Amino acid sequence: METSDLKQYQQEIIFRLIGKYKQLNSIDLQEEVSGFPMKCRKCGHDHFVKNGHFNEQQRYMCKKCRATQFPDANTALYNLKLKDKWVDFVAIMLEKDHATSCIAISKELHINEKTAHQWRLKMLSCLNEHQGIQIGCELELDEVYFPFCVKGRIGKEKFDTYIKEHHPDNVESDLRLKEKKMEQDKHQAVCIIKHNRNKDFSFETIKILKKGNVSKSDLARVLKDTDFTGKTVITDSGRPLIAYFKKQQNVIHQTFKSEDVKQGRIIKKNIHNNNINNTMSHLREWLKKFKGVSTKYLGNYLKWFRLKNIFNVDNAKSFLLDYVSDRSLYSRFLDIFKIYKQFVFF
């Protein structure tokens, strides 16, 4: 069948797809990552000598501890057997209208469903260090709440004594007992959302609460690296937010009452958080397809949602190179459980 037999709009769709895949296929991450500076994954030293080949790949040896590694050590490509499909996987994960369930991805890329799940966790670990929001003259700020959730299989890391799944002699750890208590008491994970009123936003997880609001010290801990100098920050009239910004210098802090916004009343022009409300509406709709998100991965999913909104295939190469140049990614991927445990016991 020739493309001339198709309607004009159908031809345009096909040409866009061809252009997209040509763009993605032009990205050779294995070659690119070879040019990035290396650090030893054991001692952190940065001096290496060549040490033969393995599976047609150049291997290097650390001059300090004599450990050997490949150029992609501790990057997104480390320990991947199907490296040629990683670029397509990331593109699928970040495209707005693409199905993102592990089952759908495994069928499209012809990979195992467990592989798709592991790749998703690894990619979400990449997002932790991705470029932050660019703040303009005005910034909306608010606290948002998500139900505490423990979803998926309960692994042996949550048991002090583990024999096999559902065995009566398994002894649950303090973490597992606390999780069950938090779910029973309907705790919530609290995050702060920042919106620059220019289609970009970011989330930061704060803590897990049973009830009440976060404190001024919690806000100071999360917002300490954000430069508000010369900016207009718009929030609701919550006491912790007012107390925090009262101590900040060279910041214009504008507040409104949440009741006015809910009833459609805007007392002062442009003093509202409608952009945050719109973003949260889209986020909650997007999260429905996952039928709940584990609190362990909540921060990563929030960053994933943000990048789905700003990703463009045209800048896919710089986007992906930014990922594979991150030499601390694999350690973050391995530390997911450790970070979650700290979050629960904070």
What pLDDT is stored for residue 22 in this prediction?
A: 62
Nearest Cα residue to 317 out of 71, 90, 16, 119 = 90
The pLDDT of residue 71 is above 90: no
Q: At 260, is the pLDDT very low, low, confident or very high (cuts 50, 70, 90)?
A: low
Q: Are 311 and 95 in contact (CB under 8 A)?
A: yes
What is the average per-residue pLDDT within 318-326? 70
Q: What percent of the chain has pLDDT over 70?
A: 81
Closest CA to 141 of 275, 255, 233, 249: 233
Q: pLDDT tens digits for 137-192?
A: 899 999 999 999 988 777 788 888 888 877 888 888 898 899 899 989 999 999 99
| 25-30: average pLDDT | 63
**pLDDT on residue 185:** 92
pLDDT of residue 192: 93
pLDDT for the residue 135: 82
Which pLDDT belongs to residue 309?
81
Question: What is the rounded average pLDDT of the residues 36-61?
Answer: 83
Average pLDDT over residues 47-59: 85
| Residue 112 Cα to chain centre, angstroms | 22
Contact indicator for 33, 320 with CB cutoff of 8 Å: no
Q: What own/partner pairs with CB < 8 Å and gap ≥ 24 does 151-154 have?
A: 151/292, 151/293, 151/294, 152/294
| Average per-residue pLDDT for the chain | 81
Local confidence band at 1 (pLDDT 50, 70, 90 cut-offs) = low
Radius of gyration for the alpha carbons in the chain, expressed in angstroms and rounded: 23
pLDDT at 57 over 90: no
Average pLDDT over residues 20-25: 62
Largest CA distance in the chain: 71
Q: What is the DSSP letter of 76?
A: T
* pLDDT tens for each residue of 289-313: 888 888 988 988 898 888 888 776 6
Average pLDDT over residues 231-243: 90
Residue 323 clears pLDDT 80, i.e. is over it: no
pLDDT band of residue 131 (cuts 50, 70, 90) is: low
DSSP code per residue over 301-328: HHHHHHHHHH--GGGHHHHHHHHHT-TT
Nearest-angstrom CA–CA distance, 303 and 296: 13
Pick the most confident of 31-35, 45-49, 319-323. Answer: 45-49
The pTM score is 0.81
Q: What is the pLDDT averaged over residues 316-328?
A: 70
Q: What is the pLDDT of residue 145?
A: 93
Task: List the single range of 201-210, 242-251, 304-313 with lowest mean pLDDT.
Answer: 304-313
Q: What is the mean pLDDT of residues 118-125?
A: 81
Residue with tokens 């705790």: 187
Q: How far apart are the C-alpha atoms of 89 and 333, rounded to whole Å?
A: 17
